[in-house]
Amino acid sequence: MVQLKFSNSNIFSFKLVVGVQGKKYLMDLSSVRPKSVIWGGLPDTVSVTAYELENENVQFELKNKTSNGWKAGVIVAIQPLLYTLYNFLYSLFVSYKIGQQLGIKSLLFAISMLISYLIVITFLNFNKKKVMNRLGQKRSVQTFVFRPTKRIYDGYFIFIISLVCYVVYLSFNNGSEGALLIVNTVLSMLCFAYTNSAIPVAEYYQAGTYELVEIREE
């Protein structure tokens, strides 16, 4: 059996894979088909699209050195934005007594999830275009075919997390709901990314949940 070696790339939702004879691939985690595999489905096979790379191609390699100063700068930069957004939502909930209007309150919660989904999809499409531009016109498309060995229910976490957040959100009626909307937006982004854009194929393979059947050229 071919042993695959996975590593992170510098593009969200893509993994670097080393397969037979040291061949290198860039795997698109959002291309997993069928998506039902993370919702308890157990198909005969699962397919994932990848692009074969030249061994000397390092443009997708993740650099070990990361600027902590840059990360700190981003955190500092978004704090005023979050503070402003929180104040706006607090004022909105208090001024219009939204906490007492279940319909509008629930609608705002749903909108926060929709915004999260749109952000994830937009970011995913942007990264796909970036990858295609880097690969150029001459790209070798490969399909990794796996056999799932058991059912996976990871997809339902998005509902559990959102349900818990929604229940807590409904229990507040003092303007603090705005903070929970912000938290829900962030959590929903992580959940949508996990279940739609960055399905953890590497982790499933390493745990034995996925067994490699073949790698075929398209």
Question: What is the spatial distance between Cα 87 and Cα 176, in angstroms, rounded to a whole number?
Answer: 10
Q: Which pLDDT belongs to residue 64?
A: 66
Q: Which pLDDT belongs to residue 91?
A: 95
Tell me: the pLDDT tens digits for 79-120?
898 899 999 999 999 999 999 899 999 999 999 999 999 999
Question: What is the spatial distance between Cα 113 and Cα 133, in angstroms, rounded to a whole number?
Answer: 31
* Cβ(142)–Cβ(50) below 8 Å: yes
CA angle 13, 19, 20 (to 5 degrees): 160
Looking up tokens 């595999």 gives 37
Question: What is the spatial distance between Cα 174 and Cα 176, in angstroms, rounded to a whole number?
Answer: 6
Q: Count CB-CB contacts under 10 A for residue 135.
A: 18
Q: Tens digit of pLDDT per residue, the chain (218 long)?
A: 568 999 999 999 999 999 988 999 999 999 999 999 999 999 999 999 999 999 999 999 987 655 556 667 777 778 898 899 999 999 999 999 999 899 999 999 999 999 999 999 999 999 999 999 999 988 899 999 999 999 999 888 878 988 999 999 999 999 999 999 999 999 999 889 988 888 999 999 999 999 999 999 98
SS3 69: helix
CA angle 166, 170, 175 (to 5 degrees): 115
Helical (H) or strand (E) element with 195: none
* Reported pTM: 0.88
Looking up tokens 């009626």 gives 173
Please say whether the dihedral angle defined by the alpha carbons of residues 67, 202, 25 and 192, taken in this order, is positive or negative.
negative
Q: Which pLDDT belongs to residue 69?
A: 60
The domain locations on the chain are 5-217
The DSSP symbol for 143 reads: E
Phi/psi of residue 174, nearest 5 degrees: -130, 15
